[in-house]
Structure 1
Amino acid sequence: MKLNIVIEESDRIEMEVGGEGHTLLNLLQDSMHSHKDVKLAGYTKPHPLMDRSSLFITVKRGKDPKKALIESAGDAVARIEDFLKKFNNGVAKKRD
């Protein structure tokens, strides 16, 4: 994965993400939408054959977009870990 910050302002960040598709970016977008400080979040993929996308986040006045993005990414990781735990428990019960 390659990251390049294109715009960095007090209330927003836009970055170019290389080597990732809709799977990761959609998960991050969903987590950012759930964050209390986020006003706007999303991503664009200019063309399916292109290996880059743009990820952006805008936060409420006085809030830090980097902090909101980091917390949103942490939330996404926690959601995946919760899924894996429940999946593994379900598989173990199925075997019994």
Structure 2
Amino acid sequence: MEIKITELDENYARIKIRGEDHTFLNLLQHFLLEVDGVLLAKYDVPHPLIDEAELIVRTDGLNPMDAIKRANEFIIRECDEILDILG
């Protein structure tokens, strides 16, 4: 995965992501929307043959990069729970 931050301010981030498809991006979007302070989380894959997506996060008083970190922590916890259940 390659990440390039194309826009960043205190309430907004626009990030290009290479090497990931809808599988991870949809999961990340879902968990971003669970983070308190996230107003908008969306991604776009402009063309299925181009290995690049764009993630947009808008927040209300929360650093958008912190929101992305929290969402990834939620994903890790969910995966750990599944692994525990499976033994």
Scaled by the length of structure 2, what TM-score is found? 0.93
Matched, 1:4 2:17: no
Q: Tell me, which stretches of 5 or more residues in structure 1 are unaligned?
A: 90-96
Specify the SS of the correspondent of 1:36: coil
C-alpha separation between the residues in 2 aligned to 1:2 and 1:41? 19
Q: Tell me, which stretches of 5 or more residues in structure 2 are unaligned?
A: none
- Structure 1 residues 7-26: aligned runs within 5 Å: 7-26=7-26
One-letter amino acid of the structure 2 residue matched with residue 31 of structure 1: F
C-alpha separation between the residues in 1 aligned to 2:42 and 2:48? 17
Tell me which residue corresponds to 1:38: 38
CA RMSD of aligned residues (A): 1.0
Structure with max Cα Rg: 1
Identity of aligned residues (%): 29
More strand by percentage: 2
Alignment size in residue pairs = 87
C-alpha separation between the residues in 2 aligned to 1:39 and 1:6? 19
What stretches of structure 1 move > 2 A for 4+ residues in a row?
Answer: none
Matched, 1:73 2:68: no
C-alpha separation between the residues in 2 aligned to 1:40 and 1:3? 19
C-alpha separation between the residues in 1 aligned to 2:29 and 2:18? 16
Deviates further, 63-72 or 25-34: 63-72
One-letter amino acid of the structure 1 residue matched with residue 67 of structure 2: A
More helix by percentage: 1
**Cα deviations by residue, 1:34-83 (Å, 9 ceiling, x for unpaired):** 111100001100011110000111101x2211111111111111111212
Scaled by the length of structure 1, what TM-score is found? 0.85
| Larger relative contact order (Cα-Cα within 8 Å, sequence gap ≥ 6) | 2
